[in-house]
Amino acid sequence: EPEVTQTPSHQVTQMGQEVILRCVPISNHLYFYWYRQILGQKVEFLVSFYNNEISEKSEIFDDQFSVERPDGSNFTLKIRSTKLEDSAMYFCASRGMGADGEKLFFGSGTQLSVL
Amino acid sequence: AQTVTQSQPEMSVQEAETVTLSCTYDTSESDYYLFWYKQPPSRQMILVIRQEAYKQQNATENRFSVNFQKAAKSFSLKISDSQLGDAAMYFCAYEPSNYQLIWGAGTKLIIKP
């Protein structure tokens, strides 16, 4: 089965530093998402992306966050100045069209630890 | 507001027995999807089963089945013949028309050998 790939699997950073989380969605998918899960809490929607622009974003997705699709394969989440409360598991997901659009494919996540 | 509630923080079951995890949700939409995801200690999110709201028939995937009660807004997951590998966090999720999944708080499933 096709996979969504996320790198790195773990990222440790100092507070105030910038981090970029990388995702390679499934190749023919058109809709991309970032979710996060703070340890012990619910999974939360961050942002959705379609046709090279943000289609929806949550209140969590403030000016410190940005997403980009720099080429035809990667989809990145950037946090400009990390805070302690940004420590979480970040999941990338993608969706296709038609019957394939009924299912969201998740990557295995990037565990971000802000010290 | 659209919400998903999993009222069981933790459930345990004897290996080979059957267990049911409960989930309720709140929505005013009539067309939507419901999901159960499994998250093992690796924290990867694995789709277990999916239900379309417009389908009356309950979804089934091998040992996993759901009891979908649309009027009651209830979506429980039944795991038959529980196996040690089923031990994980299980999340119920609701997908409205904007495709933004709304998640429950999760149920930790413990399998007793």
pLDDT of residue B14: 97
Question: With bands split at pLDDT 50, 70 and 90, how would you rate the model's confidence at B62?
Answer: very high
Look at B100 and A103 and tell me if their CB atoms are within 8 Å. no
Mean pLDDT of chain B: 94
Look at B50 and A95 and tell me if their CB atoms are within 8 Å. no
**Distance in Å, alpha carbon of A107 to nearest chain B alpha carbon:** 7
Look at A109 and B45 and tell me if their CB atoms are within 8 Å. yes
H/E stretch holding B35: strand B33-39
Beta bridge pairs of residue A95: A31
**Chain A residues near residue B106 by CB distance under 8 angstroms:** 42
pLDDT of residue A99: 64
Taking residues B87-102, report their average pLDDT: 90
Left (φ > 0), alpha (ψ -120 to 50) or beta: where does A51 sit? left
pLDDT of residue A100: 59
Q: What are phi and psi of B93, to 5 degrees?
A: -140, 145
Question: With bands split at pLDDT 50, 70 and 90, how would you rate the model's confidence at B30?
Answer: confident
Task: Report whether pLDDT(A23) > 90.
Answer: yes
Question: With bands split at pLDDT 50, 70 and 90, how would you rate the model's confidence at A101?
Answer: low
Say how far apart CA B76 and CA B4 lie, in whole Å: 12
**Chain A residues near residue B43 by CB distance under 8 angstroms:** 37, 89, 108-109, 111
Q: Measured between alpha carbons, how far apart are the two ends of chain B, in Å? A: 41
Interface contact B96, partner A, CB < 8 A: no
The one-character DSSP state at B104 is -
Taking residues B30-54, report their average pLDDT: 91
